[in-house]
Amino acid sequence: MSSIATLLIVLLLLAPSGQSPEAAAKLRVVATIPDLRALTEAVGGDLVEADSLARGTQNPHDLEIRPSLMVKLRRADALVVNGLELDAWSDVVVQGSNNGRIIPGAAGYIDASRGIQPLDVPTGRVDRSMGDVHPLGNPHYTLDPALAPAITATIMEGLARVAPEHRRAFERNRETFLGRLEPALARWSEALAPVRGAKAVVYHNDWIYLFRRFGVIQVGTIEERPGIPPGPAHLARLIQRMKEEGVKAVVIEPWSDRELAARVAREAGARVVMLNAKLAQGAGADAYLASTEANVAALSQALR
Ligand SMILES: [Zn+2]
């Protein structure tokens, strides 16, 4: 074998392209919750390999921190967090991952709430006696599809920080996603127009962004305070109020106390509807749009 041929073989073996080209080029991005994973995939497209720490069936408020979560972050190029303290537990996971590229302040740390105007920001002092109150405002903004343009803009900037050579591709992917979102938003507004002004009670205060967007009125919550189970006096007052105001639906999420919600609904003459508080299955833009579509359909049915 000529020395040149030998040299070429050695170079080929040493080159990182010894892996498959896609695997070598893909950015590894982890989101804390599946909604943000889907929106990251919508922006990242083929250039990104995305994963999420919480599954869609887990209450994102209090995720159990396991070593397997830290392993997921160890080789991540970027981390997308919800922020507003929904996923403050991710700080511990980041520390345990020993990955300096995704610590708060690093280029690979993407806080998706940065472009959001939070609702329900408490005005007075917040302490533990008030329950799991979020001092920075209600963190459940990903449930309003009309905020997806702002969220994906923040994710796009973050990914472009980590991989500036792909900025144009990320922009194009985002434009494609927004091109699908826009007609869907128009369809959802139309579907919910007949129930504008209808009243609902929620188990946990998850839905105010979506409700405000589509004109649904929230009369109360089954939880007496966020994350704290209700006492009998609170429930009696709530049921009374639901009857007086003609509340149509009690909105629950997969981890709510279903028996309690069913009892409240029955006594107040309302129906129970379970919505996808977090993306339960699938990935990418398709899953995000399908999950929102299902929520809108279930809500418009329940509020009739
Ligand atoms: Zn919450």
- Those residues whose C-beta lies under 8 Å from the C-beta of residue 245, and which sit 6 or more positions away, are 199, 219
Model's pTM, two decimal places?
Answer: 0.89
270-301: pLDDT as tens digits: 999 999 998 888 889 999 999 999 999 999 99
193-229: per-residue pLDDT in tens? Answer: 999 999 999 999 999 999 999 999 999 999 998 888 8
Count Cα atoms within 13 angstroms, Cβ side, for 27: 30
- Could you read off the pLDDT of 143-165 as tens digits, one per residue? 999 999 999 999 999 999 999 99
pLDDT score for 18: 42
Centre of ligand 1 from the C-alpha of residue 269, in Å: 26
CA 111 to centroid of ligand 1, rounded, Å? 17
Give the mean pLDDT of 79-99.
96
**Separation of CA 29 and ligand 1 centre (Å):** 24
Distance 37 CA to ligand 1 centre (A): 19
Band of residue 21 on the pLDDT scale cut at 50, 70, 90: low
> Quick check: 175 pLDDT over 70?
yes
CA of 130 to the centre of ligand 1 (A): 13
CA of 86 to the centre of ligand 1 (A): 7
The pLDDT tens digits for 231-279 are 999 999 999 999 999 999 999 999 999 999 999 999 999 999 999 998 8
pLDDT exceeds cutoff 80 at 117: yes
Closest CA to 117 of 158, 69, 83: 83
- Ligand 1 center from residue 32 Cα (angstroms): 15
Average pLDDT value over all residues in the chain: 91
Q: How far, in Å, is the centroid of ligand 1 from the Cα of 297?
A: 23
Ligand 1 center to 144 CA (angstroms): 14
